[in-house]
Amino acid sequence: MAISPTADGEDGARGVTVPEGPPAHDSWPTVPEGAPPAWAEAVLATIGESVALVRWSPHERSPMEVLWVNDAAEGLTGYTRAELLTGGAAPLAGVIADDDVPMELRVQLREGNPGGTVVRLYRADGEGYWANVALTPYPTASDEVPWWVLVTRDVSGEVASAAEDRLRFEADERARLGLSVVLRVSGLLSELDGARVLGAITDLLTRRVVAWCGFFARGRGLYELDAITTRTEQAPRRLEDLPSCAISELFAGSSMRTVTLDPAVTYSPGSLSAELLDLVRPQLELHPDSPQQFTVLPVLGRRGALAVLVALARPARQHRPEPAGGAGILPSRPQPVVRGMAEQDVGTVLELVARRVGMAMENAQLYAREHSLAETLQLAMLPEQDDVGRLDVWSYYAPTSEHAQVGGDWYDVVNLSESTVAVVVGDVVGHDVEAAAAMGQLRSVVRAYAAEFIDPGTVLERVDRLVSSMRVPRSASLVYATLTPRDDGSWDVAYHRAGHLPALLVRDGQVTSLSDAGGTLIGFSSRPRQTGFVRVDPGDVLIFYTDGLVERRDRPMREGVTALEEVCSHIHAPDAAGVGEEILQLADAPEDDIALVVVRVPGQRPGTSPPGSSPRQRRWQLPPDPATIGRARRAVARACEAWGIAEAPAAELVTSELTANAVMHGWGRVGLQLQDTGDGLRIEVEDANPAPPVPREHMAGRVGGFGIHIVDRLADWGWRPTPSGKVVWARLRRGAGTEIGSRPAPGRPSA
C-alpha cells in the first residue's frame, strides 16, 4: 500500500514520533508502516539520483511495491510521483520488479545483504537507457515483507563507453591475431625446409583463421602443393588452350585479387574453375556449417601467379541480441571476447600469407634451378677414373669449400689405349669458382693432347703453348704420367711434373721421390719439357697427390712431404684402397683441396708377405654410371681378400645390389664405404637422392626391384638421411652366403 507523508512530517494516523534531528544509525525509529521522517525526506530530496522505498520479498515470487520516491525518480523516469506509487517498480527496477532476479543477486538479497545489477529501462516516452539498480535493506519492526531502499542511476554513457572499449579491444585483438598469424607464417618460411613448410602454414591458418585451406598449382592438371620446391614432371597446359574462367585469369594475371568459387555455379567443362571445384568440393561435406563457397587468391611471384590459395571460411559469428522491448539485464560479469576475425580481416591475412608464400616459393624454385645447374656443371668437372682392370687404382677427392663440390684440384685416370693408362694430378691456385673454371679449361686441354700424344713431355709442351694463348686467369701445376705393361708383369712409367710435388714410389718400405723431369708451372715454360722413366714391379705402389694433403699453416711444406714419406715407408696394405686409407691419416684437418691417386701393381714381390696391418675400413668415390657396379664389386673383393673375410661372395652381391640402386635411382656421385666391425662386415652406399629404398612385392612379369630382397636375405640393413641425400647400410652376417636360397628372409630392422 502506497502512503504519502503529511506536510509537517508527522503521520498522526500511525502515531510516528519524529525526532528533531537525525539519530544514530542504530537508534533509527522502526517504521512498521509509513514513509521516511521529514528530515530524511528532506535529505533524500537533495540527492540527484533516484531513490525509492519499496517493499518486496526476495524469498517469494511477489511484486515489488513502491512506498515512497524522491523528486529525482520523476526526472529520471518521466513518470509522476503518483504514477510511480501506483504503477509499480518497473520504471525504476525493470525485470527485478517482476521478480525475474538473477540467481547470484537473489542469493545475495535473501541473505539480507545489499545488491544490485545493471538493467535496461524505458522512460515514459519510450526512450531506453541503461540503469544501475541497487537495493539496500531498510530496518522495520515487522519481518513479514522486507523494506528496501532502491537507488536507480542512469549509466547509459558508461555502458556505451564500455561497449566502445570492448569493440576497440576486439578490433585490437583481431588485428593482433592477424599480425601474429602473418608473423608466424614468415617465421615458418624461414625455419622449415620447403618440403614441410606448406603443411605447417595450412595447419596454422586452419587453427586460427579459416575452416580449411590449401595451395594448388598447375601441371597437366591442377594438383595440391605439398612443398614450395615441388617440381612437376608434367608440362603445364597453356592457358590459351583452356576455357576462359576466373581461375585461369588468376594464373594469367600478375596482380592480387580475390575470386569466389561457388559450387552453385556451373563452370565450363575443362576449365580450371571446374577442375579446382572438383578437387575441393569434399571439404564442403566436412564443414557443413561453413559458408558453402571458397575464396581463391593467387600466390604471386615476380612474374605472375605460381599457384593459388583456396580457403573455406569459418561459420559466421553469432552476436548476442540486445533486448528489443521491456527490460533486459546486462550481465554483471564481463563477457569473454570471441577470438575470431572479421571477414575483411580474414581476407587481409590470406592476402599477406599468399604474397609471402609466393615470394618464398619463387626464391626456393630459383635456388633449386640454380643449384641443379651448378650441380650439373660441377659433376661434369669432377675428377674421373676409368675402370683400369689390370691395375689396382684408388682415387680420392675432397674440396674445402662447403658450398661447392669442386675446386681447383683434380685428377684423371684415363685408358689411352688397350695397353696404356694415363694418370694426371693437377692443382690450380685457389679453391673458388674461378679456380674451378680454370681447372675445367686446363683439364680439357690435357685430355685432348693426351689422346694425341703418348710422351708426357710432348703432351705438356703442347699444353704450354695453348694455355699461354688462352690466358687462363690462374696459374697451375700438374704431374702427368703414363703406365705401359711389360710381359713380365711389371710396368714402365713415363712422367713429367710441371711445378708440382713429385710422385712417390713405394717398394719394400723404401720411398723414392720421382723428382726427375721437372719443369715450371703450366704456361710458363720456354724450353722443351723432358720425360722421366721408372719401372714398377708387382707389389709396388705409385702415389700422386696435391699439396692439400701435406700443407699446413703450422708447418713448412718440406716437413709435410717428409711426414708423408714416413707414413708411406710403413705401409704394407695389399690393396690400393688400404694404402689410401693410411695416407689419409695425414689429412685429418685439411686446409686446401685434396686430390690423391694410389696405383698399385697387382701381385707381390718374391719373398714378401704383407702383414695385413692396414686399417679395417675402405672408401671409394664412384661416378654414377653402370660401370661403377663392376668396379664396386672388384674393390670389395680385393678388400675382403686383404682382410681374409670368407664371406666375400656375399659381400660382392650385397655391394652390387646397393650400388646398382644408387646408380639407377640416386643422384650425383656414389660413395661406397666398407668396414670390418669385428662381428660382421658393414657396407654403406651414399647418394644424393633423399628418397628411401622401397622393396617391391614379388609379382610375375615385373622386371627389377628385387635387389633389396636379396640384401634382406644376406644382411641386416637400413638407411639414414644425410644433409646431402641418404646412406643405405647393410651389416653382413658371419657365414652369410653359404646357404643362399634355403634360409627364410629375416625381418628388416629399423635404421
Q: Does an H or E element contain 504, and which? A: strand 503-507
Question: Is 384-611 in the same CATH topology as 162-318+336-366?
Answer: no
Most confident of 131-135, 137-141, 432-436: 131-135
Complete DSSP assignment for 151-187 = EEEE-HHHHHHHHHHHHHHHHHHHHHHHHHHHHHHHH
- Cα–Cα distance measured from residue 668 to residue 342, given in angstroms and rounded to the nearest whole number: 51
The predicted structure's pLDDT at residue 341: 63
For domain 162-318+336-366, the question of CATH label 3.30.450.40 is answered with: yes
Confidence of residue 744 (pLDDT cuts 50, 70, 90): very low
The predicted structure's pLDDT at residue 85: 86
The predicted structure's pLDDT at residue 591: 67
Instruction: Please name which of 404, 407, 345 lies closest in space to residue 373, comparing C-alpha atoms.
Output: 404
For the chain, the average pLDDT equals 79
> Does residue 262 or residue 169 have the better pLDDT?
262
The predicted structure's pLDDT at residue 235: 46
Residues 6+ apart with CB under 8 A from 217: 223, 225, 230, 232, 306, 307, 308
DSSP H helical ranges for 623-704: 627-643, 648-665
Contact 295, 354 (CB under 8 A): no
Instruction: Please name which of 80, 65, 75, 90 lies closest in space to residue 328, comparing C-alpha atoms.
Output: 90
Describe the crossing of helices 627-643 and 576-583 by its angle, rounded to 10 degrees.
80
* Residue range 583-634, pLDDT digits in tens: 988 876 666 788 899 999 988 765 454 555 567 888 888 888 888 888 889 8
Residue 191 pLDDT > 70, yes or no? yes
The predicted structure's pLDDT at residue 741: 39
Confidence of residue 470 (pLDDT cuts 50, 70, 90): confident
The predicted structure's pLDDT at residue 9: 39
Instruction: Please name which of 648, 625, 657 lies closest in space to residue 730, comparing C-alpha atoms.
Output: 657
Residue 25 pLDDT > 50, yes or no? no
Residue 140 pLDDT > 80, yes or no? no
For domain 25-154, the question of CATH label 3.30.1330.10 is answered with: no
Residue 231 pLDDT > 60, yes or no? no
Residue 485 pLDDT > 90, yes or no? yes
CATH top-level class of 384-611: alpha beta
* Sequence-ordered strand ranges (E) for 264-304: 294-300
Grid cell, residue 503, equals 710422385
172 CA to centre of own chain:
30
Mean pLDDT of 203-217: 91
Instruction: Give CA separation, 306 vs 10, 222, 233, in Å.
Output: 92, 12, 16
Residue 24 pLDDT > 50, yes or no? no
Confidence of residue 142 (pLDDT cuts 50, 70, 90): low
* Residue range 399-453, pLDDT digits in tens: 765 555 667 788 999 999 888 999 999 998 876 677 778 888 888 899 999 988 9
The predicted structure's pLDDT at residue 542: 96
The full set of domain ranges for the chain reads 25-154, 162-318+336-366, 384-611, 616-751
Confidence of residue 672 (pLDDT cuts 50, 70, 90): very high
Fold of the CATH domain 616-751: Heat Shock Protein 90 (3.30.565)
* Residue range 110-123, pLDDT digits in tens: 777 888 888 888 89
